[in-house]
Amino acid sequence: MKNRPAGKWVQNKILVIPGETDCYIYLRPRSSKWQYYLNHPGEGEERKSTGLEDQEAARKYALDKKLQMMARHQQGLKSRRVKTLFDFIDEFLEEESKRIKPYNQKGFITEDTFRLKSHHLKWLKKFYHDKSIKIEELDYPKLKTYPTWRGIPDPIWNPTPPKTNHTISTELTTIRAYFDYLLDKGYIPREPTWDKVARESRRVNRRDFLNPRQYMQTINTVRKWANSQAITENQRWNRQMVYQSILIMSNACLRKGELKGLKWSDLEPNPNLSKKDQTRGHLIRIRKENTKVGEPRTVQSPTFERINTIRELYGISKHRQSPFPFIPPELADNYVISKFNKPHEPLGPGTWNRCWAEIRQLCKGRYWGKKNITYYSFRHTGISFAVSRSVPLLQLSRNCGTGVRYIEDVYYHHESESKQTWDILNQNRKFHDKVNQQQDTLLVDIEDMVGEENPHGEYDWDRYDVIVLPPSFPFGGMENPRLTFATPTIIAGDKSLVSLIAHELAHSWSGNLVTNATCSHLCRYFVDIL
């Protein structure tokens, strides 16, 4: 606040404490209400209205302000309060924005981290929902209950509480940092305390993943979606980019952010492999600005064919002398996953979101059940598959850019859902042949291991039911589209007649879908026998 000439503004100046000129009351010209003046050492001057016309009442009001200032100074706190709790949130975020760097670095944060902190503090605003609350009026007992409030649904202020306490703990980390800022600046006397948040096992909080069957069902559906003809050239390009991205994320265990920032110059042949194996596996250099932890790494990846497919989409011809996708030097800094006709720009977030909405609509109800599948789920699935086929943990950790302990805690979860699936999978001769040839298990395509597609094609009848008829039904089974009639004798109790159901189900392809073109041969047969 600027100092004003005392003679112009002050009339009938009265010292609040005799002999101390740092606090007094006065009247402004043409005003009947007393003003007070208070000097805050090191913080400037304060001139405000008391709102009182009685002189003695105004003097006591100013004295109370001076005593509050002295008390705060004795605590080592600042005394001039002009901002609300919400104003200080904006000030804190402004200071945090000065620490933004393109990649993780000690003492700095990324743009994504900043957005996350902003989101967390929005919940603190909803918790208080009173924009006028002053920082010195902070309700510590109420603030203590934030974790409890956050976990209880409220139709107005908290309609969607977090599914796990891990989210609440993450929000509290940001809120604590905010109050640490207020404490360091001398705005509050102490840091608040909060209700305890129950710790949850990291095994429980793992992201959803796809088992082999779900994975191949999803991949087959996404492939058909990407190859659809009833779309524009721009849409077809975007779908192909997303489809190939899903395959790369699954097989190379990349995060979406790492893939989005990938450039052609980041792809290299693997010199440790033979010429033949170089046509299958290659190296991906992940730059530190694209990583979650701000550390560069090199990924061994079996995604040569996927990268080659993308190269062909760009119309870049293959170099005869190299099995590795040849990219002209002038295109080296272009993005691998880019916009249509704009190779120097990465695929935009809107395109990623729109494509995922379409994929989710196609797959969620059919294959995923109650699982919350996201783009990240494909990285999670890829790591899970690698763990199941006994890839050395240290090798897997370096490839994925995550700790060995984290892999042990999060990805060893096949006891229930995947054990039987993997027992069957391990009987796959094709996969065993690859392992027996002592190839690097990281260079085995998930699609090759599982089987890229059902050799018979997808089930086209949406639903399959079996109806067990009365004992008078004389046959073992009779196939129909979507429904098989079966005799009660199939219920043997020891699953010995499962083959009968498998036989009838097979007719959903051979018999119900594939039939003879005409019945002329049957007509000739009946003529002959008659």
Structure confidence at residue 415 (pLDDT)? 42
How far is C-alpha 167 from the chain's CA centre? 12
Q: Are residues 278 and 323 in the same domain?
A: yes
What average pLDDT does this structure show over 12-34? Answer: 87
Residue in 131, 124, 122, 128 with CA at minimum distance from that of residue 179: 124
Looking at the structure, tell me whether residues 98 and 62 fall in a common domain.
Answer: no
Give me the CATH number covering residue 256.
1.10.443.10
Q: Which phi and psi angles does 89 have, rounded to 5°?
A: -60, -45
Q: What is the DSSP letter of 88?
A: H
Same domain, 332 and 234: yes
Please report which confidence band the pLDDT of residue 385 belongs to, taking 50, 70 and 90 as the band edges. Answer: confident
Task: State which residues form the domain around 40.
Answer: 6-74
The reported pLDDT for the residue numbered 60 is: 92
| pLDDT at position 75 over 70 | yes
pLDDT at 229: 78
Q: Given 26, 53, 74, which residue is the final one in a domain?
A: 74
| Cβ neighbours of residue 493 closer than 8 Å, sequence gap 6 or more | none
Which residues touch 298 (CB under 8 Å, ≥6 apart)? 283, 284, 285, 286
Q: What's the pLDDT at 315?
A: 84
141 contact partners, CB below 8 Å, separation of at least 6? none
Q: What is the pLDDT of residues 476-530, one digit of tens each?
A: 678 787 888 888 777 766 666 777 788 888 887 776 666 655 555 544 444 444 4
Cα 351–Cα 368–Cα 424 angle in degrees, nearest 5:
125
Among 141, 166, 184, the domain boundary falls at 184
- So what's the pLDDT on residue 274? 77
DSSP state of 441: G
Please tell me the predicted confidence (pLDDT) of residue 431.
Answer: 45
What is the reported pLDDT for 500? 78
Number of domains in the chain: 4
Q: What is the CA radius of gyration of the chain?
A: 35
* Beta bridge pairs of residue 299: 284
Torsion of CA 29, 34, 38, 43, to 10 degrees: -70
Q: Is residue 201 a part of any domain in this protein?
A: no
Asked if residue 467 and residue 446 are part of one domain, the reply reads no
Residues 268 and 328 placed together within one structural domain of the fold: yes
Residue 323 lies in a domain: yes
User: What pLDDT digit, counting tens, does each position of 433-460 carry?
Assistant: 444 444 566 666 777 666 544 555 666 6
Within this chain, do residues 397 and 521 fall inside the same structural domain, yes or no? no
DSSP, collapsed to helix, strand or coil, labels residue 382 as helix
CA dihedral 150, 154, 157, 159 (to 10 degrees): 90
Residues 270, 220, single domain; the answer is yes
Q: Are residues 219 and 353 in the same domain?
A: yes
Shared domain check, 404 and 294:
yes
Within a domain: 203: no
pLDDT of residue 420: 46
Same domain, yes or no: 258 and 399: yes
Whether 39 maps to a domain, the answer reads yes
- Identify the CATH number of the domain in which residue 500 sits: 3.30.2010.30
Burial 221-242 (b: 16+ CB within 10 A, else e): bbbebbeeeeeeeebbbbbbbb
316 and 177 in a common domain: no
- Is 442 found in the same domain as 328? yes
The one-letter amino acid at 231: I
Residue 68 has pLDDT above 90, yes or no: no
Among 450, 481, 516, the domain-final residue is: 450
- Which has more confidence, 181 or 206? 181
Cα(356)–Cα(340) distance, integer angstroms: 18
What H or E segment, with its residue span, contains residue 298? strand 297-301
* pLDDT tens per residue, range 140-194: 888 899 999 998 988 888 888 887 888 899 999 999 999 999 888 877 878 899 9
The confidence score (pLDDT) of residue 505 equals: 81
Residue 179 in contact with residue 125, Cβ under 8 Å? no
Residue 251 falls within a domain, yes or no? Answer: yes
Residue 151: inside a domain, yes or no?
Answer: yes
